[in-house]
Amino acid sequence: MENFTMGPAILFCPADRADRYAKALERADAVILDLEDAVATENRDEARRMLIDNPLDPERTIVRVNPAGTPDFDEDLAAVRQTPYRTIMLAKAETLDDLAAVADFRVVALCETALGVINAPQIAAADNVVALMWGAEDLVASLGGSSSRKESGTYRDVARHARSQVLLAAGAYGKVAIDSVYIDIPDHAGLLGESVDAQASGFGAKASIHPGQMPIIRQAFTPTADQVERAQRILAAADAASGVFTFEGQMVDEPLLRHARATLVRHQVSGTA
């Protein structure tokens, strides 16, 4: 299974709003055309028709389908098979049986229930899974809770645990992890802080619900000029050193060299090189 290379700024778009498809793709690195939560049940047949009739670049498009075993699931897949899209997001992914039902697709597994989070390592190991994403609000709802965040805006402990579990599962099997959406749209400072943390922790992308969030997510995932310059100097110093060495008062060993190399890779991918 080839690697997932979409990101870092990924935008959800309701599949029943074909008028927004092209605009969404212009603003984002990739678009998730959503047949699930963003579309009312009575509008899903029309959304599937719009999906078929309004094609986008399949290399930058993901289709979120309804959970396996639901009445809409088979109809969603039938519609996707009439398009060039071969990357789907499987809502509420929980078991290997769910993934077997979409064996002919590249799958972004959305772990957003208690069972899905617990089974994240098994899900990440599946051959057709190219990325994992976690979802906070559906997770808390599956537990009978009422909110994933405290009044301060920070995640509750159970959400933080789920976020870490999905990230670790993805990393263990060499898959990309996608961070959950930030639903307080006007809070750009909060989004930036959460996105910076996502990148620093190892997430490869962050999903979002509003086009105005795209530049902020890209900013968080793009190294600053100072970070790039320091990474270059550390690697240059490593060429002249033997084994562990000290750089500007900091001990540098192989893990820190890997951090520096990753910074330069992100710099190249961002197009600012």
pTM (two decimals): 0.88
What is the architecture, at CATH level 2, of domain 9-221? Answer: Alpha-Beta Barrel (3.20)
Domain definitions of the chain by residue range: 9-221, 225-269
Structure-token match 């090189």, residue found: 273
Structure-token match 């088979």, residue found: 74
The predicted structure's pLDDT at residue 270: 63
- The answer to whether 22 and 50 have CB atoms below 8 angstroms apart is no
pLDDT in tens, the chain (273 residues): 568 999 899 999 999 999 999 999 999 999 999 999 999 999 999 999 999 999 999 999 999 999 999 999 999 999 999 999 999 999 999 999 999 999 999 999 999 999 999 999 999 999 999 999 999 999 999 999 999 999 998 999 999 999 999 999 999 999 999 999 999 999 999 999 999 999 999 999 999 999 999 999 999 998 877 778 787 888 888 888 888 888 888 888 888 788 788 777 777 776 544
Q: Residue 175, class by beta-carbon neighbours within 10 Å (0-12 exposed, 13-18 middle, 19+ buried)?
A: buried
The predicted structure's pLDDT at residue 227: 79
What DSSP element (H or E) covers 233?
helix 225-240
- The answer to whether 12 and 181 have CB atoms below 8 angstroms apart is yes
CB-CB neighbours of 240 under 10 Å: 7
The predicted structure's pLDDT at residue 7: 86
The predicted structure's pLDDT at residue 1: 53
Work out the angle at residue 174's Cα, subtended by the Cα atoms of residues 117 and 131, and round it to the nearest 5 degrees: 55
Gap between the Cα atoms of 116 and 68, Å rounded? 12
